[in-house]
Structure 1
């Protein structure tokens, strides 16, 4: 797989990057070629324009960050609730979070946690040449501890339930063990 620049929303130096197949279907993101920090209120604009599916992606992402060990990641110390974190920090400049529509860059020296949302997306990335050796834990979750890659269900409440979200947080914690 040829290395291409990260494309998506958030912080280009993210500690936690989530990968999904496509950006929101909005004209302002159609030509996105880099990582664009979102501005305060931009998540609400995307939700209004694109509907409940995107709202779920942002909500699940913020809930996951709040479920992480505060000693390992300080996301939960930056806001009083995951909702407040989502509105004030998620995917903004300096947030250390990214939602990417490109393939993970596993050559980077950064200790980024790469979360591929959805088995179908993970398989497409593997077929395109993503250099990772996934160990499938079950039908929905896979880990490549060496490259810090995780595969989980898509960021939707029905697919990534609270129980599965807690399991994903546990897998992230285990990457540093």
Structure 2
């Protein structure tokens, strides 16, 4: 999966193949003025969890669970750790992890390999209103797809909104995008 480097604000790998976009960043002074990609370091997700509360723990947990729900023939995340918890703690959003959590407008690059996931319908609508050049086809009230741009919209990364059944559905949508290439 060849991807172009990310030049926007967020956490993670600058050439991530799985890019998740959320509306807010952790309310911590060290991230307030972040304008580039910043790989997290081992233990940093736990620091964010402690400083910012359970909501951020859910975001990181759901992201790691999603990676472990992906088809292992298409994605190698499970080769790095024995569980999604280990992956979250040891690899998620770090340099070389192939993952990114973005706080800015998606940089869509059709046919370049990256999968773009907007967490939350409200955030997706705000991005569209701000000029995101996407043609979303809504599959239901919570999920949308733009195959050309390899862009998906799903519920926010929270256990209640993106439960295990919906997480499995999102994993299948990602797999279908990868098969289409």
Q: What is the TM-score of this pair, normalised by structure 1?
A: 0.96
Deviation at 1:108, TM superposition (A): 6.6
Deviations 1:64-107 (A, max 9, x none): 00000111110011100000000000000000000000111013
What is the CA-CA distance between 1:5 and the residue it aligns to?
3.2
Query: What does residue 128 of structure 2 align with?
Result: 126
2:148 aligns with 146
Q: Distance in 2 between matches of 1:109 and 1:133?
A: 15
Distance 1:15 1:97 in 2: 6
Q: Which residue of 1 aligns with 2:157?
A: 155
Instruction: Name 1:11's counterpart in structure 2.
Output: 13
Query: Which of 54, 63, 77 is residue 56 of structure 2 equivalent to?
Result: 54
Give me the CA root mean square deviation. Answer: 1.2
Counterpart selection for 2:44 from 28, 33, 42: 42
Is 100-109 or 154-163 further displaced after alignment? 100-109
- Length, aligned pairs only: 174
CA distance in 2, matches of 1:166, 1:109: 24
Instruction: Select 2:137's aligned residue among 135, 141, 150.
Output: 135
Greater shift, 5-14 or 44-53, is seen at 5-14
- Report the equivalent of 1:113: 115
- Report SS of the residue matched to 2:100: strand
Q: Which residue of 1 aligns with 2:80?
A: 78
Indicate conservation of the 8 Å contact 2:110/2:149, yes or no: no
Distance in 2 separating the partners of 1:60 and 1:164: 11
TM-score of the two chains, using structure 2 as the length reference? 0.94
Report the equivalent of 2:69. Answer: 67
Moved over 3 A (4+): none
How far, CA to CA, are the matches of 1:66 and 1:5 in structure 2?
27
